[in-house]
Amino acid sequence: MPLKISINYSPNFNQKKRLKTEIKFIIIHYTGMKSEKGALDRLTNIQSEVGSHYFISKNGNITLLVPELYIAWHAGKSKWKRQSLLNKNSIGIEITNPGHRFGYKNFTYKQINSTIILIRYLVNKYRISKKNILGHSDIAPDRKKDPGEKFPWEHLATKKLSIWHNIKQQELKSLRKKKCNKIEKYKFFKNLIKIGYLGKNLVKVTKAFQRRFRPQIVDGKIDQECFKISKKLI
């Protein structure tokens, strides 16, 4: 399927261009607003001071809001490994979804299909590693939940567009809700730092990890399943 993109420019970006080689990350968001129109209006309103490079509608239409070589205001205060303030070296993709506040929904097939096509295009264009395709909650776990546990990261991994583990579901289920001791919990957080997670609130950091890699239960509690997955990802 060819990449079809419409244009609706947003004013919410830095005026100075960056180099193509500076683009290292793709950050996935959900809009978190009641309506698709309201979300697009906000992303294109100068007073909101929020923008992204791309917007994907419920029916899978892709809209360019900010040209890729300009820094859009989508990531905010953010950290991943040694990187901080990821606006400067990332491309942001907003997918319309009410989010946790307004009735979180499954993403549509058309949305995910368009997201995959767009990410593949960007990966090839900028040589972005699959390790650097992230969710907003990955880079800002203390304050963000998007794109959330309904976003199909495992499916993206089958397209080589996300990291994932190779642990079988039967084994994972056998470990689910089994408690970790203090040493295992300490090692779990060390693993999360190695993966890239950084945050002050350890419960929220754990939830961000769960939303990405163990979406069946997002409770902020470290169990043997989470610990096992974290070991596989480093």
User: What is the pairing mode between strands 5-7 and 62-64?
Assistant: parallel
From the candidates 94, 154, 171, 184, give the one annotated as an active-site residue.
94
pLDDT score at 185: 98
User: Is residue 68 flagged as an active site residue?
Assistant: no
Residue ranges per domain, the chain? 5-158, 169-233
d(CA 136, CA 139): 6
Three-state SS annotation for 136-181: HHHHCCCCCCCCCCCCCHHHHHHCCCCCCCCCCHHHHHHHCCCECC
Q: Note the pLDDT of residue 68.
A: 98
Mean pLDDT, rounded, for 144-156: 98
Domain 5-158 in CATH: superfamily? Peptidoglycan recognition protein-like (3.40.80.10)
Please give the pLDDT value at position 186. 98
- Please choose, from the candidates 128, 125, 214, the residue with its C-alpha nearest in 3D space to the C-alpha of residue 171: 214
Query: Hey, is 30 helix, strand or coil?
Result: strand
pTM here is 0.97
* Listed residue (149, 166, 134) closest to 232, CA to CA: 166
What's the alpha-carbon Rg for the chain, to the nearest Å? 17
Name the band, by pLDDT with cuts 50, 70 and 90, for residue 3. Answer: confident
Q: Of 141, 234, 230, whose CA–CA distance to 180 is shortest? A: 230
The third-level CATH classification (topology) of the domain covering 169-233 is Muramoyl-pentapeptide Carboxypeptidase; domain 1 (1.10.101)
Mean pLDDT across the stretch 148-176? 97
pLDDT of 1 strictly over 70: no
Q: Locate the DSSP E strands across 24-169.
A: 25-30, 54-56, 62-64, 70-72, 79-80, 83-84, 90-95, 133-135
For residue 226, is pLDDT > 90?
A: yes
Q: Which structure tokens are listed for 211?
A: 């939303």
Confidence at residue 2, expressed as pLDDT on a 0 to 100 scale:
61
Type and span of the H or E element at 6? strand 5-7
Mind listing the pLDDT tens digit for each residue in 168-222? 999 999 999 999 999 999 999 999 999 999 999 999 999 999 999 999 999 999 9
Q: What is the pLDDT of residues 91-149, one digit of tens each?
A: 999 999 999 999 999 999 999 999 999 999 999 999 999 999 999 999 999 999 999 99
Q: What share of the chain is helix, strand, coil (3-state, %, to 5)?
A: 40, 15, 45
**Residue 66's pLDDT band (cuts 50, 70, 90):** very high
In one-letter notation, the amino acid at residue 171 is E
Angle at 231 between CA 226 and CA 234, to 5 degrees: 125
